[in-house]
Structure 1
Amino acid sequence: MEFSAPRRRRPKEAIVPMINVVFLLLIFFLMSAQIPPPAPFDVTLPNATGAEVAAPADTLHIDAGGQLAFNAARGNAVYDALAARATTDTPLQIRADAALDAQVLARLLPELATRGVTMIELLTRAR
């Protein structure tokens, strides 16, 4: 009977630390991501030249029929929500539908001025 040397097993790779790192990265990216809230209604932006900018959370939405939405406020409650807006040194971004009549927007501007909104930015879609 002949004895042979025991077979050497290949050392197993430690996969548990790699899984831990992957889960830590996943948790980090989930916690640090800023997911914008959905728009209250669909708005087709007017075309313009330049870069397209994503709407921030404090955006005044106006649909084609003139319906207003600002954060959780809808309709005439938007004006009170705009008056209570914390930062007045930053421009209010308006996301108005391309089919909105310009006169409706023009009538809205003095109303915004009485609520303390002195600067606005009209968001458009890049061509």
Structure 2
Amino acid sequence: MQFEMPAQRPRSESVVPMINIVFLLLIFFLMTAQIAPPAPFEVTPPEAENETPAEGTFTLHISPGGTLGYADAEGDSALKALAAARESHCQEVACDETGPVLLLRVDGAADGAALAKLMGQIGETGFQTVKLVTRAN
């Protein structure tokens, strides 16, 4: 008696390598992503010819009306929150003589006299290096 061999079904492709690649990409993007807190309000920086972007550790926002914003704090409490953040940063990371760099994101329509007065208050919080964020024209 001769039996016929049943027809073999083709092997399905394994999806395990694809899942591995997806997880590796996910881990890569999570490790390289820089998560920054949202700006407290929208600011249009002044124009400048310098194309080098300013870099710093902390960012203080100043609205056209002169309102200060840092993280979730606005107004006078923004400077207090900024000083506290600088203090905790310097406790975790040994700050050198100049300390961390503060970025000022000032609206182009903000008052220059108010900005000059603010520089003294920023100096009292302990920041010695302040950079102004501008946009290329």
- Using the size of structure 1 for normalisation, the TM-score is 0.78
RMSD across aligned positions (CA): 2.6
Q: Partners in 1 of 2:126 and 2:53 — Cα distance?
A: 27
Q: 1:67: which partner in 2?
A: 67
The equivalent residue for 1:104 is 114
Task: Give the share of equivalent positions with the same residue, in percent.
Answer: 48
Instruction: Confirm whether residue 91 of structure 1 aligns to residue 92 of structure 2.
Output: no
Q: Return the match for 1:114 from 109, 121, 124.
A: 124
Aligned length: 124
User: Could you tell me how far 1:43 is from its partner in structure 2?
Assistant: 0.0
1:58 CA drift (Å): 2.0
Deviation of 1:17 after TM superposition, in Å, equals: 2.5
Kindly state the Cα deviation for residue 112 of structure 1 after the two structures are TM-superposed: 1.5
CA contact (8 A) 1:51 1:126 kept: no
Is 2:53 the partner of 1:44?
no
Which blocks of at least 5 consecutive residues in structure 2 are unaligned? 91-97
Deviation, structure 1 residue 70: 1.4
Q: Please give the alpha-carbon distance, in whole angstroms, between the structure 1 residues aligned to 2:56 and 2:13.
A: 46
Residue equivalent to 1:30:
30
Distance in 1 of aligned mates of 2:124 and 2:4: 95
TM-score w.r.t. length of structure 2: 0.73
Supply the distance in 1 between the matched residues of 2:17 and 2:120 (Cα, whole angstroms).
61
Shift of 1:101: 1.4
3-state SS of 2:61 partner: strand
Structure 2 CA distance for partners of 1:56 and 1:40, relative to 1, 3 Å: farther
Higher relative helix content:
2
Does the CA-based 8 Å contact 1:52-1:126 persist in structure 2?
Answer: no
Larger mean CA deviation between 72-81 and 101-110 belongs to 72-81
**For residue 120 of structure 1, what is the amino acid of its counterpart?**
V
Residue 36 of structure 1 contacts residue 57 of structure 1 at CA under 8 Å; is this kept in 2? no
Q: Which runs of 5+ in 1 are unaligned?
A: none
| 1-structure distance, mates of 2:19, 2:69 | 44
